Amino acid sequence: MNLEDLKPEVIQICKEVGQFIREEAQAFDRSRIEFKHGFNNLVSYVDKEAEQKLVRHLKRLIPGSGFLAEEGTGSSSRNEFDWIIDPLDGTTNFMHGLPVFAISVGLAKHGKPVLGVVYEVNRNECFHATINNPAYCNDQPIRVSVVSQLNESLLATGFPYNYSDKKENYLEIIRLFLEQTHGIRRLGSAAIDLAYVACGRFEGFFEYNLNAWDVAAGALIVQQAGGRVTDFSGGNNFLHGGEIIAAGEVHSPMLELIKSQWFKKKA
């Protein structure tokens, strides 16, 4: 399997499905919002149809490949090749008319991501990488930021739909970063947050309660752009573990601060 030959086909599929999402965004009617688990976890026919279109086309590229996709295609059982897909990352933005959403398609070989495409639909920016090769935005090679100080950094994060008992720890981390950085952005799409770390727009990104489909493609793109991606302990369990820190040179101070707060017992 030549991943560099496969990648343009995956990009083309993402662009076609992106066109569908862009058209639906023009006339999206909020009465078509459905709820998954709770009042703030939204989904619509656009997410579901985009997923079906992606699956139909990607299946052709690698016969026998498996799927792990947000709107229900496939399962967590592992095949030689598995597509890990979020057909519309930034669903809440999409439904409120904010133009910040993306398609995220990762390909894992024996569970390890080897190809990633994040297509930011409204900017027509496609971030992509294969393992052991440079990362790109459209046809330009990209690198993570070389800024190494928190006080020169712009960070990104997300606020989980479902807060766990870690809420206080997380808010404290946000408070400390707000005091020590140029600021924190919450774009509403983890895939775009990661893509923007890969090209140096953000120095770093952290979030918890994410799923594999949010991060599989973007994390690989960050790594291939020279960045470091870990969980909150500094380990590698970020794909299925729900915690992620992705950054260029500020990864070390970010990890240090997050570690110092995340494992503290709160009353």
Contact flags string 25-64 toward Ca ion, x per CB under 5 A: ----------------------------------------
Phi-psi group of 185: left, alpha or beta (phi > 0 → left; psi -120 to 50 → alpha; rest → beta): beta
Residue 242 found at the interface with ligand IPD (CB under 6 A): no
What stretches of 76-211 show up as alpha helix (H) in DSSP?
A: 91-95, 167-180, 190-198
What minimum distance in Å lies between the beta carbon of 38 and ligand IPD? 12
The CA distance from 114 to 106, in Å, is: 8
Of the candidates 246, 267, 95, the one whose C-alpha atom is nearest the C-alpha of residue 158 is: 246
Q: Which does 226 bind (CB under 5 to 8 A by kind): ligand IPD, Ca ion, none?
A: none
Torsion sign over Cα 87, 91, 96, 97: negative
What minimum distance in Å lies between the beta carbon of 14 and ligand IPD? 15
Query: How long a stretch of residues is the chain?
Result: 267
Residue 89 found at the interface with ligand IPD (CB under 6 A): yes
The CA distance from 154 to 150, in Å, is: 8
Q: Which does 189 bind (CB under 5 to 8 A by kind): Ca ion, ligand IPD, none?
A: ligand IPD
In eight-state DSSP terms, residue 235 is S
What minimum distance in Å lies between the beta carbon of 43 and Ca ion? 7
Residue 207 found at the interface with Ca ion (CB under 5 A): no
Residue 215 or 225: the one with the smaller Cβ distance to ligand IPD is 215
Helix axes 212-224, 190-198, angle to 10 degrees: 0
Residue 210 found at the interface with ligand IPD (CB under 6 A): yes
Amino acid of residue 52: Q
Site for ligand IPD in 141-170 (CB under 6 A): 158, 160-161
The residues binding Ca ion (CB under 5 A) are 70, 86, 88-89, 91, 214
What residues make contact with ligand IPD under the rule CB under 6 A? 86, 89-92, 158, 160-161, 188-190, 207, 209-210, 214
